[in-house]
Amino acid sequence: MPFVRTDSADAEKGLHGSKDFVVTDVRDVPDAAAAVTAQIANVELSPEENKRLLRKIDLNILPLLCCVYLIQFLDKTPRKEVLTFSSGKQALSYASIMGLRQDNNLSLSQYSWLSSIFYLAFLVGEWPTNYLLQRLPLAKYTGVNIVLWGIVLACTAATTNFAGLMAVRFFLGLFESCVTPSFSLVTAQWYKKREQGTRTGIWFSCNAFANVVGAIMAWGFAKHDAVGDFSIPGWKILFVFLGGVTIVLGAAILCFLPDSPLTARFLTEPDRALAVERIRNNQTGIGTRAHKWYQVREALLDPLTWCYCLYAGAMNVFNGGVTSFFSIIISSFGFNKLDSLLYNAPGGALLFVGVLFFLWLGDRIRLRILCGIIPLAIGLLGVLLCWQLPTHLKVGRLIGYYLWLYATIGLIVCVSLLSSNVSGSTKKTTVSSLFFVFYAVGNLVGPQTFRAQDAPRYGPGLATSVAVIAFGIADLAVIWFLYARENRRRDRIMSSPDYEPKTNQEFLDLTDRENIAFRYSC
């Protein structure tokens, strides 16, 4: 026999010695799975009902995710260059232009630490927050963290020195560490695999859109602050404003985002069962709060886990580096601080369109990884333009920077793969926590690759970016190969006359390695 048969009692004890594992019963399954199997027996979902339900889910879930992701990106990290901040993506960058550094008596090295402490806190918080995302109600835990992050962000306006800023930045990183893992779990709960790339692209694209919104917003705040229209420093108004908006969004998450399809108030009782039925073929279930140590072990021994993690680390070395380099390009044009704020808006707009297009195309043609590799190649071309063009060709290097941003799309594709291709609640949260630990490490390392002594070409930093993007292309190709090989192996097993398909094993919280019916989305 090419597979092992067991009952649900064995499954709950974690007796999974074989990769080719088939479940024969759904009794005694914890949490939602047993209730779901009773509700969805013999339910059929017509194409019309599927479209109606998908539209309802999109209208109630996606706007919440998009708004939170946009506001998150507006307040994350500072740039290394203090005099010519040009990013629209982070409030601390904007605030530095409006006098935050001077009012808090910060040296350049202290200002740089405000970026590092955020990712150090992100690093500290990632494992426990992923554990709690599984153990606690998903939406409620996420909403509380967003409200707390908004409170901390608003408290930045009360700081008067380096120690105070370090404290608020640490807690900001701690509370924000749950957002992307949480949204990845929400996407997996509600959408079919062939829909997950597009939906991940929609909420993740708000990072890019925040570049446009943030650049214009910061320009307006800074302009009014410069002419004395505010009675208090403009940077304090900025933090209070963004903190207040974040608190409101956190409250909205608490009130309107369901913890699972079974508790969605915007769905009728029959529609809740249909919402679960429509994701049956994902073979990932809707989650369980039972923490299973054998799934932690499987995650640590799965080579795909380390492919994801190495990709996250490498690509965020690039991400942290590009953060520094943009201000260098803008300063070479000689623009004043206010005008430089607007120059990230075109790059943000191009990236916004690119994210939506490539993630949609990946789902459309069912080649999501290919649609991650192509923008990486575009980003590689952009880095080479920045590196090899003469420094006096400023416009060409700026175009290179805008192309360089497209490499970020590969990271978003990888996040969508975590939603679609990691099954088992404990395994999914374990892989997610490791992925974002490497994400934080990459962001800590990246800015160090651009050093003042390497001006004006910054060869070592650009060479590092070329290397990590090339590694990212190779890494995604390896993931694609492993997926395709495993899918072929499972096709052979399921075509065997000895194979016996079982009912409702989709909701037993099996891992992707245990469930032979599971297929990896390439």
**How far apart (Å, rounded) are the C-alpha atoms in residues 225 and 228?**
5
Specify the pLDDT at position 108. 63
Give the chain's radius of gyration (CA, Å).
24
Q: What is the predicted pLDDT for the residue at 75? A: 55
Residue 78 has pLDDT above 50, yes or no: no
Taking only the tens place, the pLDDT of each residue in 243-301 is 999 999 999 999 999 999 988 999 998 898 889 888 888 887 777 788 899 999 999 99
Is pLDDT at 436 greater than 70 in this prediction? yes
pLDDT digits (tens, 9 = 90+) for 349-393: 899 999 999 999 999 999 999 999 999 999 999 999 988 988 788
Check if the beta carbon of residue 351 is closer than 8 Å to that of residue 506: no
The 10s digit of each residue's pLDDT in 81-137 is 332 223 333 555 555 555 566 667 777 667 667 778 888 998 999 999 999 999 999
Is residue 430 helix, strand or coil?
helix
Q: How far apart are the first and last CA of the chain?
A: 29
Confidence of residue 416 (pLDDT cuts 50, 70, 90): very high
Q: Amino acid identity of 202?
A: I
What confidence score (pLDDT) does residue 55 get? 96
Res 423 pLDDT > 60: yes
d(CA 92, CA 347): 20
Percent residues over pLDDT 70 in the chain: 77
User: 4-507: which CATH number, 1.20.1250.20, 1.10.10.10, 2.60.40.1120, 1.10.3720.10?
Assistant: 1.20.1250.20
Q: What is the pLDDT of residues 426-435, one digit of tens each?
A: 999 999 999 9
* Residue 10 CA: distances (Å) to CA of 13, 27, 296: 5, 11, 18
* Strand extents, DSSP E, 93-247: none
The answer to whether residues 249 and 146 touch, using CB atoms and an 8 Å cutoff, is: yes
**With 60 as the cut, is the pLDDT of residue 38 above it?**
no
The span from the CA of 469 to the CA of 124, in Å, is: 26
Q: What angle do CA 20, 26, 32 make, to 5 degrees?
A: 115
pLDDT of residue 20: 37
pLDDT tens-digit readout, 5-33: 333 333 333 333 333 333 333 333 444 44
Classify residue 265 by burial, with Cβ atoms within 10 Å: 0-12, 13-18, 19+: exposed
Evaluate if residue 237 carries a pLDDT over 50: yes
458-477 residues labelled b (16+ CB within 10 A) or e (exposed): beebbebbbebbebbbebbe
Residue 34 has pLDDT above 60, yes or no: no
Q: Is 257 helix (H, G, I), strand (E, B) or coil?
A: coil
Give percent of the chain above pLDDT 90. Answer: 47
Q: Name the band, by pLDDT with cuts 50, 70 and 90, for residue 203.
A: very high
**pLDDT for 336:** 57
pLDDT value for 497: 86
Lowest mean pLDDT among 69-83, 213-227, 254-268, 417-431: 69-83
More confident position, 46 or 300:
300
**pLDDT greater than 90 at residue 307:** yes
Q: 401: phi > 0 → left, psi -120 to 50 → alpha, else beta; which?
A: alpha
Checking if the pLDDT of 302 tops 70, the result is yes
pTM for the whole thing?
0.84
The rounded mean pLDDT for the chain is 81
Q: Give 463-487 pLDDT, tens digit per residue.
A: 999 999 999 999 999 999 999 999 9
Q: Where are the domains of the chain?
A: 4-507
Give mean pLDDT, residues 63-78.
Answer: 78
Taking residues 489-497, what's their average pLDDT?
91
pLDDT at 186 over 90: yes
